[in-house]
Structure 1
Amino acid sequence: MAVAAEIVPSDIVAFQVIDPQTHHTTQIASPDGWATAEYEQIFRDHLPEHPLLRHFLRTGDGDAVRMSDVVSRRALRGLGIYQDFYRPLGIHHQTACLLTSDLGVVNTLVLSRGTTDFTQAERQLLLLARPHLANLLAASETRYWFDAALAALEAIDDTSYGVILLGQLGKIRVMNRSARLLLDTYFRRCGGEGGTLPDELASWLTGQRRAPSLDDPAPPRPFTLSRGSRHLTVTLSEHHSSAALLLSETDAAAPAAITDGGLTSRERDVLWLVAHGHTSAQAAQVLRISPRTVEKHLEHIYAKLGAASRTEAALRVFGAAGRRRPAGPHT
């Protein structure tokens, strides 16, 4: 906003987020000494009559426009938003542009001043800056959505399901702990965030994304892999340039009913790993916790289940799926 004020001199520069249906608004202004709760409520109360907002909603045109372009000076002075909000602040001239609009919520950049009206040259400068400002805002919003998706992924507790969000060229951008467990169980080499998928998965993904041909009109089937009685299925979900993998596991030998023994999701993760041949240090690396924390989890697991060993505890919770794997890496 400071850059906008330098390019187009303004008394107040504000970024406003507005929901025209509910009249909910938030704004960041520079300077912000005027932004009291009272003034913000006055603005919300008079929002439906705001000439620039009415113009954006009516025309769908978000290019930079001046207040004087859409309402006469006499008509503006007759509006409550001018008398109760702008006039006390010494604001008599304004120009604004619509940056983004999503789910009915509009994001606008608003420049206000009290002396002279904005010139056509200043409006053109704002027009030139608009696409760059919109891209910056979209990138910022994407980052917020990504952070929210990451938090949601980490909240998925069931160890039988995993989600991997992919970046460019099939790189792993982020995955939940269930995906880390499943990759580590089924593949000799499993990458982490910033790394690559196991070779088998990477080859399958390339085939999935290859355009269908006359010789191969149907897309490849989901990736499947078996380890004894356990079966891993991986499916691809794509949306524009984004992609995600969903990993699910079934076990033909597992009994119909398996007790959770009152274990937490993290305790189940620890038990799953150590029951399948991981040392405490290896389990700690997969789960991104310390080996000492793994040992404390095991102590709690034994106490809750009344078990004396990892194998006994795993059999009680996972049934046949909890049997220790034969010697050798990921076999």
Structure 2
Amino acid sequence: MDRMQALGTQDYRNALRLLCGASDAAGDVMSFAREGVADLSRLVASEITTLSICDPLRHTRRVLSNPEGAISAADRLCFDHYFSVHPLVRYHFSHPGGGAWRISDSLSQRDFCASALYNDYYRRIGIDHVVAVPLFVDEGLLVSFVLNRTGRDFSDRECALLDLVRGPLSAFYRLAQSRQPAPGGFAQLPLTRREREVLTWLAAGKTDREIAAILGASPRTVQKHLQHIYGKLGVETRTAAVMRAMELTLRRLAAHPGAGVQASV
């Protein structure tokens, strides 16, 4: 059965309420992250909720988490040890268009509890059920909201709720990055002023022609700026450029966490 068929009127109302809050908080990345990890925990019960950024090249994860201090530095190092075999990381990198995915969708609970990942990491933080909601996936970056709890697994209805809000949350996240004020936003990237302007409008969803009209330039000039941006950020596509810029910004923001959110690198 299609997961969405399990949703009722109240589920849609709750999802709309969450998205209204996320929209209001999309003025900057930290506000969006703080609102997201708090409100998702209310939409779908979760003992630990994180905004997680996984880097497959470095086999590391950075997190913004709620409640604060739920994941220690030692916990993060332990997670990194199992990065390449983590079922959620592996699934979303191999299925970039996939939606909400539980560990139990990849492993039986018996096999999961017998794994080194569970006994070395999840047991120590008191968690035995996990679901990840991807916002963006490419070969170099995985950005997800991750919900963790103990006692009972996430139901199909709860996963349907998470899938319902996933697309808009991804768009709000990108919008929050495009609005990020200096010095926390694109101002500190290794780009010229004009390249930052192009990237900002790109993050806002504008086409080459629209950016050209806004900046008083030709579409060809905008395309040249984009090629320079791609080279400097080490990416090949428009979407990847925006997401890489978001990742670099979050690394800086992680050094100065906002109230109520743990930022970890």
Does TM, normalized by the shorter one, top 0.5? yes
* CA–CA distance in structure 1, aligned partners of residues 120 and 197 of structure 2: 49
Structure with the larger RCO, 1 or 2 (CA within 8 Å, 6+ apart): 2
1:71 to 78, 97, 107: 107
Say whether 1:39 aligns with 2:75.
yes
Question: For each residue in 1:106-157, what CA deviation from the matched residue of structure 2 results, as whole angstroms up to 9, or x when unmatched?
Answer: 101110110111111111100011011111221233345986654579988x
Q: In the alignment, which residue of structure 2 is the partner of 1:28?
A: 64
Query: Letter of the aligned partner of 1:16 in structure 2?
Result: S
**8 Å contact 1:95–1:111 — kept in the other structure?**
yes
2:166 corresponds, among 130, 146, 161, to 130
TM-score between the two structures when normalised by the length of structure 1: 0.46
Show the counterpart of 2:221: 237
Query: CA separation of 1:101/1:73 partners in 2, compared to 1, >3 Å: closer, same or farther?
Result: same
Deviation at 1:32, TM superposition (A): 2.8
TM-fit CA distance, 1:51: 1.0
1:153–1:163 contact (8 Å) kept in structure 2: no
Structure with more of its chain in helix, by fraction: 2
Deviation string, structure 1 residues 217-252 (Cα, Å, up to 9, x no partner): xxxxxxxxxxxxxxxxxxx62249x9xxxxxxxxxx
* Alignment length (residue pairs): 177
Kindly state the Cα deviation for residue 62 of structure 1 after the two structures are TM-superposed: 2.9
Contact 1:49 1:79 in 2 (8 A): no
**Kindly tell me: are residues 75 and 164 of structure 1, through their superposed partners in 2, closer, same or farther at Cα, counting changes over 3 Å?**
closer
Distance 2:62 2:190 in 1: 28
Matched letter for residue 60 of structure 1: P
Q: 1:119 maps to which residue?
A: 155
Give the Cα–Cα distance (whole angstroms) in 1 for the partners of residues 175 and 114 of structure 2. Answer: 40
CA distance in 1, matches of 2:166, 2:98: 9
TM-score calculated relative to the size of structure 2: 0.57
Superposed CA RMSD: 3.5
Structure 1 gaps, min length 5: 157-161, 169-201, 210-235, 243-331
Q: Aligned partners of 2:86, 2:65: CA distance in 1, in Å?
A: 18
Unaligned runs of 5+ in 2: 1-36, 202-212, 227-265
Corresponding residue number in structure 2 for 1:261: none
Residues 53 and 144, structure 2, Cα contact 8 Å, conserved in 1? yes
- The 1:154–1:26 alpha-carbon spacing in structure 2 relative to 1, beyond 3 Å, is closer
- Write 1 or 2 for the structure with the bigger share of strand: 1
Deviations 1:252-288 (A, max 9, x none): xxxxxxxxxxxxxxxxxxxxxxxxxxxxxxxxxxxxx
Shift of 1:28: 0.9
Amino acid of the residue matched to residue 96 of structure 1?
Answer: A
